[in-house]
Amino acid sequence: DDAVTTNKNYSLSRGNHVCDDPVLEADDIPREDGGVQAILELLCTLGAAQKLLCQFRCREALQIFHQLPFQQFNTGWVQHQVGRAYFEMADYQNSKRALETMQRVEPHRMKGLEVLSTTLWHLKKEVELSDLAQRAVDFDRMAPESWCVVGNCFSLQKEHETALTFFRRSIQVDSSFTYSYTLSGHEYVSNEDFDKAVSCYRDAIRTDGCGRHYNAWYGLGAIYFRQEKYDLAEYHFQKALTINPQSSVLHCHLGMAQYANGKPYEALDTLEGAFQLDPHNAQARYQRATILMSLNRPQQALLEFEKVRDAAPREASVHFAMGRVLKRLGRPEQAMRCFLIALDLDPKDNNLIKSAMDRLDEPDIEEDVSAF
């Protein structure tokens, strides 16, 4: 009897509910007005959408969420997931709209406020972020999300040390709150304190129970890239991309690391993946043009730079790079025009631009068009 009792207690603790009642077959469950079937269908729909979101297949997840009945779609949990999906797609306006709806229908919900605060940070909404921080702290000072919101508020105002104080407070409240470690890493990077940033990103990876926090892997890759440790940068960008293969931005950064690591053809293949995910990724197109120039394919590079210029007409570095490409193609007049536009857009770098203009009639040499 003691053995039986022990086995029953163990099963309960593991989630297997042992009871003496006969097991009900599916056909024995009452289905008044189809209620059970409706609940099962709802749970299947939510589960399918959540699975896609965990795989960062955000567009597909959103399609499923939008199939929900209005009374289910307009709940705090669903709006939180919708806001996350838009956030991962860098669609910050729609993310803000969904997360504000989450707040409206569930005013006391703390989960999701950290995503809303980062969304407002990206949109540079200082007043709204400050208001959110005040309300969050007033409501629950023991929630890690509250202090995370406050940290983002000071980060937007470039007060990095103060932001770090509040991110540390968030971690004190809940040492398993992964996002605050990552945001602390970002702040240390802003202060160019890379050793502490690396420590924060590693803490984020350590505390992330599900192994899906690609942001910290990306942060480590970005630091190693700045330190010209291209092998390590490539490794960490690849790890981030393994977790979130749907990110055009991650493809772009991995391509940059591969090119810097002496792998131009692999880099071109990786950047092609970035275009498939986001044809409007101007940074990836700029990097591809730079690589094409290094492979002595200036005509193809010029076509890419022209598309980048159309997307970002006031970016001085693009006009400067175009000028160098046109010089190599033997079109000095057009090159001079590009250099003059670059000089007009960014007078601070006039020495570099004027030097290129002075050498316009000299024989072309191998130059890194990204040196601007």
Task: Report the distance separating Cα 73 and Cα 290, nearest Å.
Answer: 45
Residue 106 above 60 pLDDT? yes
Residue 11 above 50 pLDDT? no
* Tokens 């598309």 sit on residue: 307
Task: Report the distance separating Cα 78 and Cα 54, nearest Å.
Answer: 14
pLDDT band, residue 210 (cuts 50/70/90): confident
Looking at per-residue pLDDT, the higher value among 28 and 309 belongs to 309
Structure tokens at 32: 């008044």
Within 13 Å and on the Cβ side, how many CA atoms surround 114?
A: 18
pLDDT band, residue 365 (cuts 50/70/90): low
**Residue 166 contacts residue 152 (beta carbons within 8 Å):** no
Identify the top-confidence range among 8-12, 329-333, 345-349. Answer: 329-333
Q: 340-354 as b/e, with b when 16 or more CB fall inside 10 Å?
A: ebbbebbeeeeebbe
- Mean pLDDT rounded to a whole number for the chain: 88
Looking at per-residue pLDDT, the higher value among 365 and 194 belongs to 194
Backbone φ and ψ of 157, nearest 5°: -90, 10
Identify the top-confidence range among 147-156, 307-316, 363-372. Answer: 147-156
Q: 304-319 as b/e, with b when 16 or more CB fall inside 10 Å?
A: bbebbbeebeebbbbb
pLDDT band, residue 175 (cuts 50/70/90): very high
Looking at per-residue pLDDT, the higher value among 327 and 35 belongs to 327
Nearest partner of 316 among 343, 352, 350, 277, judged by Cα: 343
